[in-house]
A and B are shown apart, each in its own frame.
Chain A
Amino acid sequence: MEPKQHPDLADETLLARWLSGELTEVERQEVERHPHYKDWVRLVQATDQMKAPAYASEDAWNKLQKARTETKKEGPVLQLRSWMAWAAVIFVAALSLYLLWPSENSVLQTGIGDQIVEQLPDGSTVRLNAESQLSYTIKGTNEKRLLNLKGEAYFEVAAGSEFVVDTELGMVEVLGTAFNVFAREDDFWVNCLEGQVAVRAKVDEQVNISAGESAYLLPNGRLARRSNQALADPVWWTGQTQFKEASLTDVLEEFSRQYPYEIVYDQLPNKKYTGPLPHNDREAAIQLLRSAMGLSFTILDDKTIRVNLGAE
């Protein structure tokens, strides 16, 4: 995916790292020589003096305590003696359990290197890739099914009423049955494997895609449709991610989601990667990238891997 760039700064994290004092000498000079430098300094100084509204921790805690006791009290406070009254209470309890229980927000979460498969209450199946989170409220197939996704997931949807997956970047509405959603940071794309799905970005625009097609978010916020069976066939649940013409940053980010390492580098070659990234064999994954991209990998400690240009 194309990286978004500010018109005047090549590195999208430069100003943030300038603020936190993490620039190299060369980078620092680049910032200081920039025509907007004085404005940035002024903004930083001004925002430094800002404060959030006063926060009274003790008051907030006491208020919460009160709310907690009130929540506790919400149970059966009725004092009815006849069996009919009890039956009524039980009926009400059962009814509210039926009405309220499934609407409680359910959350599925995966960490680095995890994947899970779960059956949803309506019979649909979801596979969640590493470092992802899915929350949903589903009562059954007859009511609108709304899910919220951060990360990547593959859905096989049981027939029924509306099934909508919302993400920070866009929304996917199901008209058919099987699709994959990737929504991380600025990247958003959807592949349809069966049937049809409608994809909406935050701008009001809808793209319908059918089996074998994918929709992805462009840097300008619009959606593009691509017809490409290879791309539309995510096989990450078979133990590897298949990349096609992917930027190295995207590949290394996926590496960090499958293996618990942070990847550091000064520079990456401007090459595209086509090939697999195995999930369960770190050495094999490194070996593949090393030979395909001409990179060297140094394991610095149990949390960090350094990537350099050129073979070792």
Chain B
Amino acid sequence: MTESDHVCEEAVFEGLFRQLGQGLQNFLYYKTGNLKQAEDLSQEAWLRLWKACAKVTPAKAKSFLFTVANNLFLDEAKHRQVVLKYAQENPVPIAGQESPQYQLEETEFYQQLQSAIGALPEKSRVVFLMNRIDKLPYREIAERLGISQKAVEKRMSKALVELRKLTQSI
């Protein structure tokens, strides 16, 4: 390994940050449902990477970051109840043809959906939101979480089945 492709190298470190910064913070947000906490934990994970930069190759940096972030989350949030709130770009479909009744139903549906997502098992929720919100392909999610693509697909499917149950039962 040459010095130039080392994580301690400023350009490499910054490159990794630009590439993975948002994804890591979102990942923690999906876990915790708390933006402040997600910011703090992801900053801490980056600091850990930087401190350990001599021992981590750029190829391993991704799994290092997500593993450390997960450990930090486990340390901190052991028994905390997750309450998630997701900002929606467009919570109600474009007004116009739709009747007020329909719009009201849609708004209610989105509220149900939000609490249903919060009630999903954590592992399914994180995978599901990494795909639906961050638009990451399953392979990339698998790589970040250190699990197989098949496991990602199972969690995705399970999330959809569970969400349906949760939104129907409300």
Contacts and interface: CB of A to CB of B under 8 A. Distances in A.
Given A19-B156, A49-B88, A107-B64, 7 more contacts: A12-B158, A13-B154, A19-B131, A47-B117, A52-B29, A60-B17, A253-B148
Q: Which 7 A-B pairs have the closest CB atoms?
A: A16-B156, A13-B153, A16-B153, A15-B157, A47-B132, A185-B151, A55-B22
Contacts of B160: 15-16, 19, 40, 43-44
Contacts, number: 134
Contacts of B153: 12-13, 16-17
Contact of A57 (B18, B50, B91, B168): B18
Given A71-B51, A135-B67, A9 B134 contact: no
Interface of A: 6, 8-9, 12-17, 19-20, 36, 39-40, 42-44, 46-55, 57, 60-61, 63-64, 67-68, 71, 105, 107, 109, 133, 135, 148, 150, 168, 185-186, 253
Contacts of B47: 64, 67-68, 71
A133 B21 CA distance: 23
B148 A185 contact: yes
Interface residues of B, number: 58
Interface of B: 14, 17-18, 21-22, 25-26, 29-30, 35, 39, 42-43, 46-47, 50-51, 60, 64, 67-68, 71, 86-91, 109-110, 113, 117, 123, 128-129, 131-134, 137-138, 146-148, 150-154, 156-158, 160-161, 163-164, 167-168
B26 to A, nearest CB: 5
Contact of A52 (B133, B138, B152, B167): B133
Contacts of A44: 132, 160
Contacts of B167: 39, 43
Nearest to A71: B47
A109 B56 CA distance: 11
